Amino acid sequence: MKLSESEENYIKSIYNLQEKTEKVNTNSLANFLNTSPASITDMLKKLKIKKLLEYKKYYGFRLNEAGNNEALKIIRRHRLWEYFLVTKLGMEWEKVHDIAEELEHVSSPDLINKLDIYLGKPKIDPHGDPIPDEKGKIIELKQKALKNWPLKRNAIVSSVSNQTPEMMEMLNHYGIAIGSQIKILKAFEFDGSLQIKIARNPDCIISGQAAKNIFVYDN
Amino acid sequence: MKLSESEENYIKSIYNLQEKTEKVNTNSLANFLNTSPASITDMLKKLKIKKLLEYKKYYGFRLNEAGNNEALKIIRRHRLWEYFLVTKLGMEWEKVHDIAEELEHVSSPDLINKLDIYLGKPKIDPHGDPIPDEKGKIIELKQKALKNWPLKRNAIVSSVSNQTPEMMEMLNHYGIAIGSQIKILKAFEFDGSLQIKIARNPDCIISGQAAKNIFVYDN
DNA sequence: AAATAAATTTAGACAAATCTAAAAAATAAT
DNA sequence: ATTATTTTTTAGATTTGTCTAAATTTATTT
């Protein structure tokens, strides 16, 4: 299926939001993409016509199987390019996202498969996210960044990727350590910050930055 | 200067056509880009407003210095990606053009400079065309593909890149050999074929395909 | 040099992707 | 169970890049 750059961006974003919630709603997608809710509705109609979306007016939407497959192709391209930028060009993993965002729209399957082979068919990208293979299959990670964890689901802290003294100090302060029980109570879309509950301590708020660096797995 | 993908395509095409003729005209650019002449006029107005073009209504146009610099940046990206596709991903040089055409619009200077370093700052792309450096400078090649040679300018055949028996047979037939005097009398934009004069032989027509593989230099 | 042909530009229309403001529907609150 | 609030959709406008058809300008013929 031939998709415009814009359609691809919507599909990818819906896919990403679906990781956290069953059904996606207009406002959260508008917020995520920095567009108006009206634009979202417009695009939803198009994607529904293209049969990539389950969408009932006023009641939210989600990708159907075809939509999911398209999303996985886009994500595969994105993550392979990120891997390339970090491992071959020596860019820092915090800085490659925007460039991969552009490269991902170049959609020649031959290019992507050759790139995949050249990179040694990596399974995980520099941010710790899995890279779909040519069939769209992704390895199941027990471990995920806390920022990608669903709301209100218990987890155990498995690792911390940015082990600076400042980071460790903060974790200490909140009583977060490897093995801690953790649960997200609320996610603020505005800045990615999270209200969390650690073991039996009182609730606390951590930044989106911190939430990218704390990894957890199922309880 | 921030340019749209479309603007970039026009600028690059004008640059390429300028290699062969002093002033470019509406119809030849329309033909080159497979659009209508009316679309060309529309875009010329925009590029003139952006001060990238010298353009006098009805009398043709050409890039000014700013336009040339933009063109060189786009061409640098295009040729570096072609080099990457051939030398790193193992694609064939006849097949990389379309993909490079898409990749060239990703315009992060940091990306391109890191790619350049990674590739070893190549000076010539897989088609034998020079790659502009970060300042837009290109090495002066005495040797150029015949297809890029200006009309009615004497040249000497310096080499032939596709030395298949079929190719050699044809060259033989026309009396084309290394060292032959050669001159283009007319170029057919439709298929890239050329009417040429070799030494004192009668005129003949060669295909665009052949014209890509015959290299010449100044007399 | 007047008529014809070719090239170029203008006028007006259209699709894609976006917006703002207003209307409609669903949810929450009293 | 009404009312108020929030969310979502519609209506109508805008920008970019494109088109066709008609008008204009330049070039070519006779």
Per residue in A30-87, pLDDT (tens digit) is 999 999 999 999 999 999 999 999 999 999 999 999 999 999 999 999 999 999 999 9
Which residues of chain B does A104 touch, with a Cβ-Cβ cutoff of 8 Å? none
Domain-wise residue ranges, chain A: 5-63, 144-218
Nearest CA in chain A to B96: A111
Contact A76, A84 (CB under 8 A): no
- pLDDT of B17 above 80: yes
**What's the pLDDT tens digit per position in A181-212?**
999 988 887 788 899 999 888 889 999 889 98
Rounded-to-5 percentages of helix, strand, coil across chain A:
45, 15, 40
Residue identified by tokens 């920022």 is A147
CA angle A90, A95, A97 (to 5 degrees): 110
The domain at A5-63 falls in which architecture?
Orthogonal Bundle (1.10)
CA angle A100, B127, B218 (to 5 degrees): 140
Closest nucleotide (C1' vs CA) to A36 is C19
Mean pLDDT, residues B9-27 taken together: 93
At A10, list the tokens: 């919507």
At B71, list the tokens: 């063109």
At B38, list the tokens: 């009316």
> Which of A61, A58, A51, A66 is closest to A21 using CA atoms?
A61
Domain A144-218: top CATH class: mainly beta
In the three-class reduction of DSSP (H, G, I as helix; E, B as strand; rest coil), residue A175 is classed as coil
What are the Cα distances from residue B140, in Å, to A166, B72, B86, B219?
Answer: 54, 14, 23, 15
Residue A87 to chain B, least CA–CA distance (Å): 11
In chain A, residues 98-157 whose CB comes closer than 8 Å to chain B? 98-99, 102-103, 105-106, 108, 110-111, 114-115, 118
- pLDDT of B207 above 80: yes
How does DSSP classify residue A197? E
Amino acid identity of residue B119, one-letter, is: L
Nearest CA in chain B to A101: B106
Contact B97, A108 (CB under 8 A): no
Asked whether residue A33's C-beta has any atom of DNA/RNA strand D within 7 A, the reply is no
Contact A198, A139 (CB under 8 A): no
Distance, angstroms, CA A14 to C1' C22? 27
Distance, angstroms, CA B26 to C1' C3? 25
- Per-residue pLDDT at A110: 97
Other Cβ atoms within 10 Å of A197 Cβ, number: 16
Backbone CA torsion sign across A109, B116, A12, A10:
negative
- Per-residue pLDDT at B86: 97
Give percent above pLDDT 70 in chain A: 100
**What's the pLDDT tens digit per position in A116-145?**
999 999 999 988 889 999 999 999 888 889
* pLDDT category of residue A150 using cuts at 50, 70 and 90: confident
Which residues of chain A does B103 touch, with a Cβ-Cβ cutoff of 8 Å? 103, 106
Rounded-to-5 percentages of helix, strand, coil across chain B:
45, 15, 40
Q: Which helix (H) or strand (E) holds B155?
A: strand B155-160
**What's the pLDDT tens digit per position in A77-109?**
999 999 999 999 999 988 899 999 999 999 899
Residue B6 to chain A, least CA–CA distance (Å): 14
Separation between Cα atoms, residue B151 and residue B20, nearest integer Å? 7
Q: Testing the interface with A: which of B97, B114, B117 to mutate, by most A Cβ within 10 A?
A: B114
Residue B190 to chain A, least CA–CA distance (Å): 27
Strand-strand pairing, B181-187 and B194-198? antiparallel
Amino acid identity of residue A76, one-letter, is: R
Asked whether residue A24's C-beta has any atom of DNA/RNA strand D within 7 A, the reply is no
Query: Cβ separation of A110 and B91 shorter than 8 Å?
Result: yes
- Per-residue pLDDT at A32: 94
Distance, angstroms, CA A41 to C1' D3? 28
- Per-residue pLDDT at B151: 86
How does DSSP classify residue B124? B
- Per-residue pLDDT at A165: 86
Residue identified by tokens 């941010």 is A127
